[in-house]
Amino acid sequence: MADSRETDWVSRFADEVISEAERRAPGRPIVCASGLSPSGPIHLGNLREIMTPHLVADEIRRRGHEVVHLLSWDDYDRFRRVPAGIDPSWAEHIGKPLTAVPAPPGSPYATWAEHFKAPFVEALAELGVEVHAISQTEQYTSGAYREQILLAVRERAKIDAVLSRYRTKQQGEPAREGEYFPYKPYCELCGRDLTTVTAYDDETTELAYTCECGFGETVRLAEHDKGKLVWKVDWPMRWAHEGVIFEPSGVDHHSPGSAWVVGGQIVREVFGGEQPIGPMYAFVGITGMAKMSSSKGDVPTPSDALRIMEAPVLRWLYARRKPAQSFKIAFDHEIQRLYDEWDALGRKVESGQAQPAELAAYTRAVSTAAGPLPATPHPVAYRTLASVLDITTGHAEQTLRILRDLDGVRSLDEVRPRLDRAQRWVAEYLPADQRTRVRESPDHELLGSLSDGEREALRLLADGLDNWTLDGLTELVYGVPKIQAGLPPDAKATPELKAAQREFFALLYKLLVGRDTGPRLPTLLMAVGADQVRKLVGR
């Protein structure tokens, strides 16, 4: 990878970022940044905020440059609203910093911010994402931004002028009262930000505020560490303070007058810095979580995805699409097709047939500059694992027996961690009405109603079960209707033959699992076992 250039979007950004860093800050570590608010569960769409700079930073690191990926936790932001499912009494905390709000009931964490950060941090570790995390609460309350805050307040007229370039273009915005002030104190008494700055003295930095709770005081801003710059000023301040060269953001930040656009002017005109290279990233959709999300009242997180798919596969989803392309993450049957695609790519890479961009995305998925991520030694197809686990209801001994017959698996550890992911998918996302239940006893009524042709087909099947391999069984189930039609085994499929095969398969599903469809037949036959198949087809 170190020699690759221009192979994919990640390489192209890495080129751009490296040359920009050499111009802006030669000899210094290259800074890529992400920002997240721990105001609630951090969902898979937010993961793009991390994966985009991660992949670029990782490419820069692979090329031997010193690089740091900052993760700014916006945990000094205000608690905005009580989400559904949380005790309504939490409303008393609205307006406090997220680090001053107690965690939801039953949480092992002390604060709201820690509660939502923790699972995300764990998922990042599993994904091989290395970040340098910064708590904005710590930054603000330690006075780290003192000079920048005083500068922003001194230059408030200039900031106001930048904002007003856009304000006039927006309709229906209420007229502001009083002077623009870019700093918001948290109330000393109630801890909330329901404050209004009523006076400020540029000479002494004396700042007077009142709070909706009735409290009011005068502080010296030069010593005050209980407040923060408003978002549109805070963000560009940090670009300048940290020397950020690359930071992407969501589409919602890119409209006229938005934080990104305004920030680009404020960082130059007020803080004397430059806007990072910042691609806009598109939406990440989810399929198959509709029922789940409405009942849980939230959207899936990276931890939810990592329960059902391996880290390299999740990394691949983010690596193979350019940031501006939206994509979907499947929690339904689509995950089986995704895994088929992933395995096909793996074989292509192994045989040296992958295109440069495919190879780049694959390499970024399975490894980082620090080394390879854990892989499944014997990657049996996910759909096969899911079918087997569905049929065996996860019974380890039976699962191993079937996988041994199917694919020569000698121990379940060979198919881990993929097996565990498939097992959770079956348990949590395969709808109950699609679960496979192998019949324990033959369906005598159905067997009694069969035509001579159907009886003959079942006899041909039972007689052919000796070739007990996946290929052998595949040939067998497709072959029975050919024999019955007087066709040779290598006969091409005609519409008539296909119809006969479909009918035969439907009959087998009914006899074996009592439904019209089920897992792929050869897999199902192997899972059921030859003796039980003979018994269920009445032979």
Minimum CB separation of residue 96 from Zn ion in Å reads: 10
Considering only the stretches 101-109, 117-125, 160-168, 180-188, report the one whose residues sit in contact with Zn ion under the rule CB under 5 A: 180-188
Minimum CB separation of residue 219 from Zn ion in Å reads: 14
Size of the site for Zn ion (CB under 5 A): 6
Considering only the stretches 183-191, 260-268, 313-321, 395-403, report the one whose residues sit in contact with Zn ion under the rule CB under 5 A: 183-191
DSSP class of residue 186 equals: P
Site string for Zn ion, 377-416 (x = CB under 5 A): ----------------------------------------
Of the pair 190, 530, the CB lying nearest Zn ion is at 190
> How far is it, in rounded angstroms, from Cα 386 to Cα 390?
6
Of the pair 226, 510, the CB lying nearest Zn ion is at 226
Of the pair 188, 298, the CB lying nearest Zn ion is at 188
Instruction: With beta carbons less than 8 A apart as the criterion, state whether 137 and 97 touch.
Output: yes
Is 86 a binding residue for Zn ion by CB under 5 A? The answer is no
Buried/exposed code over 242-262 (b: 16+ C-beta within 10 A; e: otherwise): bbbbbbbbbeebeeebebbbb
Residue 501 CB-half CA count within 13 A: 18
Of the pair 141, 258, the CB lying nearest Zn ion is at 141
Is 187 a binding residue for Zn ion by CB under 5 A? The answer is yes
Of the pair 91, 161, the CB lying nearest Zn ion is at 91
Considering only the stretches 149-157, 179-187, 199-207, 495-503, report the one whose residues sit in contact with Zn ion under the rule CB under 5 A: 179-187
Q: At what angle do helices 452-464 and 470-484 cross, to 10 degrees?
A: 150
Minimum CB separation of residue 188 from Zn ion in Å reads: 8
Q: At what angle do helices 334-350 and 382-392 cross, to 10 degrees?
A: 140
> How far is it, in rounded angstroms, from Cα 45 to Cα 63?
28
As given in the structure block, the two tokens for residue 229 are 């710059």
- In order of 165, 377, 420, 425, 426, the CA distances from 394 in angstroms are 63, 20, 10, 11, 9
Of the pair 90, 109, the CB lying nearest Zn ion is at 90
> How far is it, in rounded angstroms, from Cα 68 to Cα 32?
6
Of the pair 187, 426, the CB lying nearest Zn ion is at 187
Considering only the stretches 83-91, 187-195, 232-240, 377-385, report the one whose residues sit in contact with Zn ion under the rule CB under 5 A: 187-195
Considering only the stretches 45-53, 209-217, 243-251, 480-488, report the one whose residues sit in contact with Zn ion under the rule CB under 5 A: 209-217
Site residues for Zn ion, 210-269, by CB under 5 A, read 211, 213, 215
Minimum CB separation of residue 207 from Zn ion in Å reads: 15
Minimum CB separation of residue 187 from Zn ion in Å reads: 3
> How far is it, in rounded angstroms, from Cα 284 to Cα 325?
9
Buried/exposed code over 15-27 (b: 16+ C-beta within 10 A; e: otherwise): eebbebbeebeee
Minimum CB separation of residue 259 from Zn ion in Å reads: 27
> How far is it, in rounded angstroms, from Cα 102 to Cα 115?
9
Q: At what angle do helices 382-392 and 396-407 cross, to 10 degrees?
A: 140
Of the pair 186, 239, the CB lying nearest Zn ion is at 186
Minimum CB separation of residue 91 from Zn ion in Å reads: 15
Instruction: With beta carbons less than 8 A apart as the criterion, state whether 299 and 44 touch.
Output: yes
Considering only the stretches 203-211, 221-229, 267-275, 360-368, report the one whose residues sit in contact with Zn ion under the rule CB under 5 A: 203-211
82, 133, 150, 190: which one binds Zn ion (CB under 5 A): 190
> How far is it, in rounded angstroms, from Cα 407 to Cα 380?
7
Considering only the stretches 38-46, 64-72, 184-192, 299-307, report the one whose residues sit in contact with Zn ion under the rule CB under 5 A: 184-192
Of the pair 185, 278, the CB lying nearest Zn ion is at 185
> How far is it, in rounded angstroms, from Cα 509 to Cα 186?
66
**How many angstroms separate the most distant Cα atoms in the chain?**
103
Of the pair 91, 189, the CB lying nearest Zn ion is at 189
Instruction: With beta carbons less than 8 A apart as the criterion, state whether 100 and 191 touch.
Output: yes
Site residues for Zn ion, 102-161, by CB under 5 A, read none
User: Which chain residues interact with Zn ion by CB under 5 A?
Assistant: 187, 189-190, 211, 213, 215
